[in-house]
Structure 1
Amino acid sequence: METVFVLYRSNSGDFRFDRDYFESVHLPLVRGAWARHGLVSSTAVYPTGEGDLVAVAVNEFRDRQAARDAFGSPESEEVMNDIVRYTDLTPSRLRGVSFTY
Protein backbone atom coordinates (compact mmCIF):
# COMPACT_ATOMS: atom_id res chain seq x y z
CA MET A 1 0.00 0.00 0.00
CA GLU A 2 1.26 3.50 -0.84
CA THR A 3 -0.02 6.44 1.20
CA VAL A 4 0.07 9.97 -0.15
CA PHE A 5 -0.59 12.67 2.44
CA VAL A 6 -1.66 16.04 1.07
CA LEU A 7 -0.82 18.62 3.74
CA TYR A 8 -2.43 22.04 4.08
CA ARG A 9 -0.39 24.32 6.36
CA SER A 10 -0.87 27.89 7.50
CA ASN A 11 1.71 30.15 9.12
CA SER A 12 -0.99 32.64 10.05
CA GLY A 13 -4.66 32.75 10.95
CA ASP A 14 -5.46 34.52 7.69
CA PHE A 15 -6.43 31.76 5.24
CA ARG A 16 -9.48 30.26 3.57
CA PHE A 17 -10.31 26.55 3.86
CA ASP A 18 -13.88 25.40 3.16
CA ARG A 19 -14.23 22.05 4.95
CA ASP A 20 -17.73 21.44 3.59
CA TYR A 21 -16.55 21.81 -0.01
CA PHE A 22 -13.42 19.75 0.66
CA GLU A 23 -15.47 16.86 2.09
CA SER A 24 -18.56 16.96 -0.11
CA VAL A 25 -17.07 17.95 -3.49
CA HIS A 26 -13.28 17.66 -3.62
CA LEU A 27 -12.76 14.25 -2.01
CA PRO A 28 -15.49 12.62 -4.14
CA LEU A 29 -13.83 14.23 -7.18
CA VAL A 30 -10.50 12.69 -6.12
CA ARG A 31 -12.14 9.29 -5.66
CA GLY A 32 -13.85 9.48 -9.05
CA ALA A 33 -10.69 10.54 -10.83
CA TRP A 34 -8.22 8.16 -9.23
CA ALA A 35 -10.16 5.01 -8.27
CA ARG A 36 -9.53 3.55 -11.73
CA HIS A 37 -5.80 4.05 -11.14
CA GLY A 38 -5.76 2.20 -7.80
CA LEU A 39 -6.94 4.68 -5.17
CA VAL A 40 -8.38 2.61 -2.33
CA SER A 41 -9.52 5.40 0.02
CA SER A 42 -9.27 9.12 0.65
CA THR A 43 -9.83 10.53 4.14
CA ALA A 44 -9.91 14.07 5.53
CA VAL A 45 -8.13 14.69 8.83
CA TYR A 46 -8.23 17.97 10.76
CA PRO A 47 -5.40 17.99 13.31
CA THR A 48 -6.03 19.72 16.61
CA GLY A 49 -3.47 21.45 18.76
CA GLU A 50 -0.86 24.12 18.35
CA GLY A 51 0.66 23.05 15.03
CA ASP A 52 0.34 24.74 11.65
CA LEU A 53 -1.54 21.90 9.97
CA VAL A 54 -5.04 22.92 8.90
CA ALA A 55 -6.01 19.70 7.11
CA VAL A 56 -4.53 16.49 5.76
CA ALA A 57 -5.94 14.35 2.96
CA VAL A 58 -4.83 10.74 3.46
CA ASN A 59 -4.91 8.93 0.13
CA GLU A 60 -4.33 5.16 0.17
CA PHE A 61 -3.29 3.58 -3.12
CA ARG A 62 -2.95 -0.08 -4.04
CA ASP A 63 0.80 0.39 -4.52
CA ARG A 64 3.45 2.93 -5.53
CA GLN A 65 2.77 2.55 -9.25
CA ALA A 66 -0.95 3.21 -8.69
CA ALA A 67 -0.11 6.52 -6.95
CA ARG A 68 2.22 7.49 -9.78
CA ASP A 69 -0.39 6.59 -12.37
CA ALA A 70 -3.10 8.58 -10.58
CA PHE A 71 -1.05 11.75 -10.13
CA GLY A 72 0.21 11.49 -13.71
CA SER A 73 -3.21 10.85 -15.22
CA PRO A 74 -5.16 13.32 -17.36
CA GLU A 75 -7.81 13.37 -14.59
CA SER A 76 -5.29 14.92 -12.20
CA GLU A 77 -5.60 18.27 -13.92
CA GLU A 78 -9.25 18.55 -12.85
CA VAL A 79 -8.36 17.51 -9.28
CA MET A 80 -5.55 20.09 -9.04
CA ASN A 81 -7.63 22.86 -10.62
CA ASP A 82 -10.34 22.29 -8.00
CA ILE A 83 -8.05 23.26 -5.08
CA VAL A 84 -8.63 27.01 -5.53
CA ARG A 85 -12.36 26.45 -5.00
CA TYR A 86 -11.91 25.52 -1.32
CA THR A 87 -8.62 27.04 -0.16
CA ASP A 88 -5.97 29.66 -0.78
CA LEU A 89 -3.34 27.47 0.95
CA THR A 90 -0.73 25.68 -1.16
CA PRO A 91 -0.78 21.95 -0.47
CA SER A 92 2.33 19.82 -0.22
CA ARG A 93 2.68 16.04 -0.58
CA LEU A 94 4.33 13.41 1.56
CA ARG A 95 4.51 9.80 0.37
CA GLY A 96 5.15 6.61 2.22
CA VAL A 97 4.61 2.89 2.22
CA SER A 98 1.99 1.79 4.73
CA PHE A 99 1.37 -1.53 6.40
CA THR A 100 -1.82 -2.65 8.10
CA TYR A 101 -1.67 -5.14 10.95
Structure 2
Amino acid sequence: MVIFSVLYPATPGGRFDQAYYDDVHIPLVKEAFAATGLKDVQVFKGLSAPDGGPAPFVAMVHLAFEDAAAMQASLAGPRGAEVSGDIVNFSDITPIAQVSARD
Protein backbone atom coordinates (compact mmCIF):
# COMPACT_ATOMS: atom_id res chain seq x y z
CA MET A 1 0.00 0.00 0.00
CA VAL A 2 1.28 3.47 -0.92
CA ILE A 3 0.18 6.52 1.04
CA PHE A 4 0.16 10.01 -0.48
CA SER A 5 0.04 12.52 2.39
CA VAL A 6 -0.74 16.22 2.00
CA LEU A 7 -0.12 18.45 5.00
CA TYR A 8 -1.14 22.10 5.31
CA PRO A 9 1.22 23.93 7.70
CA ALA A 10 -0.27 26.42 10.13
CA THR A 11 0.83 29.67 8.54
CA PRO A 12 0.26 33.09 10.12
CA GLY A 13 -2.41 34.80 8.03
CA GLY A 14 -2.92 31.66 5.97
CA ARG A 15 -6.40 30.78 4.74
CA PHE A 16 -7.85 27.28 5.05
CA ASP A 17 -11.59 26.75 4.57
CA GLN A 18 -12.25 23.50 6.42
CA ALA A 19 -15.92 23.35 5.40
CA TYR A 20 -15.06 23.60 1.69
CA TYR A 21 -12.27 21.06 2.14
CA ASP A 22 -14.61 18.56 3.84
CA ASP A 23 -17.72 19.18 1.74
CA VAL A 24 -16.29 19.77 -1.75
CA HIS A 25 -12.59 18.96 -2.11
CA ILE A 26 -12.45 15.58 -0.38
CA PRO A 27 -15.52 14.26 -2.26
CA LEU A 28 -13.85 15.47 -5.47
CA VAL A 29 -10.68 13.55 -4.58
CA LYS A 30 -12.65 10.39 -3.86
CA GLU A 31 -14.63 10.62 -7.09
CA ALA A 32 -11.64 11.55 -9.25
CA PHE A 33 -9.27 8.86 -7.98
CA ALA A 34 -11.55 5.92 -7.16
CA ALA A 35 -11.32 4.45 -10.66
CA THR A 36 -7.51 4.61 -10.68
CA GLY A 37 -6.84 2.81 -7.40
CA LEU A 38 -7.69 5.04 -4.43
CA LYS A 39 -8.56 2.71 -1.54
CA ASP A 40 -8.99 4.98 1.48
CA VAL A 41 -8.96 8.63 2.52
CA GLN A 42 -8.25 9.84 6.05
CA VAL A 43 -8.64 13.53 6.89
CA PHE A 44 -7.27 15.05 10.09
CA LYS A 45 -7.80 18.55 11.47
CA GLY A 46 -4.98 19.96 13.62
CA LEU A 47 -5.96 20.62 17.23
CA SER A 48 -2.72 21.26 19.10
CA ALA A 49 0.91 20.33 19.53
CA PRO A 50 1.68 17.64 22.14
CA ASP A 51 2.63 20.35 24.66
CA GLY A 52 -0.74 22.08 24.20
CA GLY A 53 0.63 24.79 21.92
CA PRO A 54 -0.78 25.54 18.49
CA ALA A 55 -0.98 22.70 15.99
CA PRO A 56 1.86 22.75 13.45
CA PHE A 57 -0.61 21.78 10.70
CA VAL A 58 -4.17 23.02 10.15
CA ALA A 59 -5.08 19.86 8.27
CA MET A 60 -3.66 16.75 6.70
CA VAL A 61 -4.99 14.02 4.44
CA HIS A 62 -3.63 10.55 3.78
CA LEU A 63 -4.69 8.94 0.50
CA ALA A 64 -4.12 5.18 0.36
CA PHE A 65 -3.52 3.59 -3.05
CA GLU A 66 -3.11 -0.05 -4.07
CA ASP A 67 0.46 0.64 -5.17
CA ALA A 68 2.75 3.29 -6.65
CA ALA A 69 1.34 2.72 -10.14
CA ALA A 70 -2.19 3.44 -8.92
CA MET A 71 -1.01 6.60 -7.18
CA GLN A 72 0.72 7.82 -10.35
CA ALA A 73 -2.32 6.93 -12.46
CA SER A 74 -4.42 9.10 -10.16
CA LEU A 75 -2.14 12.09 -9.63
CA ALA A 76 -0.93 12.26 -13.24
CA GLY A 77 -4.21 11.05 -14.71
CA PRO A 78 -6.94 12.98 -16.47
CA ARG A 79 -8.43 14.37 -13.23
CA GLY A 80 -5.19 15.07 -11.35
CA ALA A 81 -5.02 18.67 -12.58
CA GLU A 82 -8.65 19.23 -11.61
CA VAL A 83 -7.97 18.04 -8.05
CA SER A 84 -4.80 20.08 -7.60
CA GLY A 85 -6.42 23.10 -9.26
CA ASP A 86 -9.16 23.05 -6.63
CA ILE A 87 -6.70 23.86 -3.83
CA VAL A 88 -6.99 27.62 -4.47
CA ASN A 89 -10.69 27.37 -3.61
CA PHE A 90 -10.00 26.45 0.01
CA SER A 91 -6.45 27.51 0.86
CA ASP A 92 -3.59 29.85 0.09
CA ILE A 93 -1.18 27.71 2.14
CA THR A 94 1.46 25.83 0.18
CA PRO A 95 0.98 22.18 1.13
CA ILE A 96 3.71 19.68 1.92
CA ALA A 97 3.38 16.29 0.22
CA GLN A 98 5.01 12.98 1.04
CA VAL A 99 4.80 9.46 -0.37
CA SER A 100 5.08 6.64 2.16
CA ALA A 101 4.57 2.89 2.26
CA ARG A 102 2.32 0.92 4.60
CA ASP A 103 2.69 -2.81 4.98
TM normalised by structure 2 equals: 0.88
Report the equivalent of 1:69.
73
1:42 CA displacement: 1.4
1:47 CA displacement: 2.5
Percent of matched pairs sharing the same residue: 32
CA distance in 2, matches of 1:10, 1:51: 7
CA distance in 1, matches of 2:9, 2:79: 25
1:51 CA displacement: 3.9
CA distance in 2, matches of 1:10, 1:90: 10
Deviations 1:23-52 (A, max 9, x none): 110001001111111001112101322342
Q: Which runs of 4+ in 1 moved over 6 A?
A: none
Deviations 1:52-85 (A, max 9, x none): 2111011011111111111110201110110010
Equivalent residues in 2 for 1:1-101, closer than 5 Å: 1-12=1-12, 14-49=13-48, 50-99=54-103
Give the total of aligned pairs.
Answer: 98
CA distance in 1, matches of 2:64, 2:72: 12
Residues 7, 95 of structure 2: 8 Å contact kept = yes
Report the RMSD for the aligned CA atoms in angstroms.
1.1
Equivalent AA in structure 2 for residue 2 of structure 1: V
Gaps of 5+ in 1: none
TM normalised by structure 1 equals: 0.90
